[in-house]
Structures are given as C-alpha cells and as structure tokens.
C-alpha cells in the first residue's frame, strides 16, 4: 500500500528556516516523480517544487532560490529545505508521488500525481 507521511512543519519567524520531510512506503522513491504543493488563492493548489527520477528539479517562481527539494534514497524520504521564509509561505504543505508524467512541470505534476500525504502546517510570522 502506497503511503506518504509529511513531517517537519512548525512556526517560525520571517527569515527563518524549516525542513519538511515526506516518508514514503509501498514503493522506492527513486522510481517515481515527487513534489511539494500548497493551497493558493484562486486555484486548487500551487506547485512549490518537483523532482523526477533522475534528480532533476523544478521550482515555483515564488520559492526559487529559497527552497531546495531533494530525495534521500537511504531513508526513502522526500525533503524540502525552506530558507528565508516569508509570511506568504504560510500554508499546509502536501507531498505527492507517482509515475512520472511526460514533462518536468509542476502544473502537470499537480494533475498527474495520484498519491498524496495528509499535509504538514507551516506558519511564518512577521
């Protein structure tokens, strides 16, 4: 049974850092594409970061240069290092995984990835 469990959320001040983790079970993460997403005003969700089977990454414009997505093959875990956090980063963060769609594209990932975790809350105060 495929399962994703997020952790690492919390409350920080502006400029602080957090590392989110998504522990996967039921498959090896090196065989799938994975991503981090959060709700966004006016849309179902915003793609934060994605990573494919080869380790290539893609980021949403609002987090480029601040967030880093990575896979830990030993722990079978997806990570998201979040630096220089801003109040607008406050959200519930969800990880997702599935067989890779044709392109490394966050909008396509959002529509294609079928396994989702329950989310972890990040709150950034000013």
Mean per-residue pLDDT for 64-91? 97
- pLDDT value, residue 47: 97
**16 pLDDT exceeds 90?**
yes
Where does the pLDDT of residue 43 fall: very low under 50, low under 70, confident under 90, or very high at 90 and above?
confident
Mean pLDDT of 27-47: 92
Q: What is the pLDDT of residue 42?
A: 82
Q: Give, for 75, the enclosing helix (H) or strand (E).
A: none
User: Which pLDDT band, with edges at 50, 70 and 90, does 2 fall under?
Assistant: confident
Question: Which three-class secondary structure state does DSSP give residue 43?
Answer: strand
Average the pLDDT over 114-125 and give the result: 97
**Could you give the CA distance from residue 67 to residue 62 in angstroms, rounded to a whole number?**
10
Rounded distance, CA 109 to CA 98, Å?
Answer: 9
């Amino acid at each position: 049974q495929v399962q994703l469990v997020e952790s690492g959320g919390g409350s920080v001040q502006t400029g602080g850092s957090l590392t989110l983790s998504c522990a996967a079970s039921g498959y090896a993460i090196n065989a799938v594409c994975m991503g981090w997403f959060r709700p966004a005003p006016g849309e179902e969700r915003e793609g934060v970061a994605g990573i494919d089977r080869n380790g290539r990454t893609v980021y949403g414009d609002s987090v480029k240069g601040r967030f880093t997505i990575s896979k830990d093959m030993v722990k079978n875990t997806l990570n998201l290092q979040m630096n220089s956090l801003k109040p607008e980063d406050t959200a519930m963060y969800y990880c997702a995984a599935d067989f890779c769609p044709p392109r490394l594209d966050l909008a396509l990932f959002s529509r294609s990835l079928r396994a989702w975790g329950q989310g972890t809350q990040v709150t950034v105060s000013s």
